[in-house]
Amino acid sequence: MRVVLQRSLCANVKVDGKVTGQIDKGYVLLVGLTHEDTEEDVRYVAEKVANLRLFEDEEGKMNRSIFEEGGSILSISQFTLYGDTRKGRRPSFSEAAKPDVAKPLWDLFNEELRKLNLQVETGVFGAMMDVSLTNDGPVTLIVESK
């Protein structure tokens, strides 16, 4: 499992021109799953994301969690995170989980974040989405299960 986390001041996702998810301060998560991922991977990454300290304290150090900041999460499924560009000009997506595997794991990931008392908004699995965000910092990290 691979998640690109971007700390944001505000963000939204639209499908066919309609907003399906919107947050103020928090994280935008681009979530990629591979065919080897398990529920254990999903729970590990959810816990890791929820407890990272990426917001500044009074001294300007990244020492506050999303809980302390009162932030929200916008979660977007992103199979292209497993695109392999080592050969040729067109990426191979053979490492990305098929939709029948990826969707239940992405749904579980979002539910695990909610169980941790985070507000989670989402895109639409498998849809063409327009994602807008104001990156805060910028702070961008990759969180992986393996």
In angstroms, the Cα distances linking 5 to 25, 61, 90, 113 are: 13, 18, 25, 14
Total domain count for the chain?
1
Based on the residue annotation, tell me whether 85 is a catalytic residue of this protein.
no
Q: What is the mean pLDDT of residues 122-146?
A: 96
Over residues 84-89, the mean pLDDT reads 94
Question: CB-based contacts of 77: which residues, under 8 Å, 6+ apart?
Answer: 31, 32, 33, 102, 103, 106, 123, 125, 126
Region 12-37: mean pLDDT is 97
135's CB contacts (< 8 A; 6+ apart) are 6, 7, 8, 9
Domain that holds residue 88: 2-144
Q: Which of 79, 85, 119, 134 is catalytic?
A: 79
Q: How confident is the model at residue 146 (pLDDT cuts 50, 70, 90)?
A: confident
Q: Which of 6, 34, 78, 122 is catalytic?
A: 78
User: How many angstroms separate the first and last alpha carbons of the chain?
Assistant: 7
Segment 104-128 mean pLDDT: 97
Residue 119 predicted with pLDDT over 90: yes
> What pLDDT, on a 0 to 100 scale, did the predictor assign at position 48?
97
The CATH number for 32's domain is: 3.50.80.10
Per-residue tokens: 76: 């977007």
Across the range 19-46, mean pLDDT stands at: 97
Phi/psi for 42 (5° steps) reads: -60, -45
Q: Which letter does DSSP use for residue 111 in this model?
A: H
- In the DSSP assignment, the letter for residue 79 is G
Cis peptide before 138 (omega within 30 of 0): yes
80: annotated active-site residue: yes
Question: Any catalytic annotation for residue 22?
Answer: no
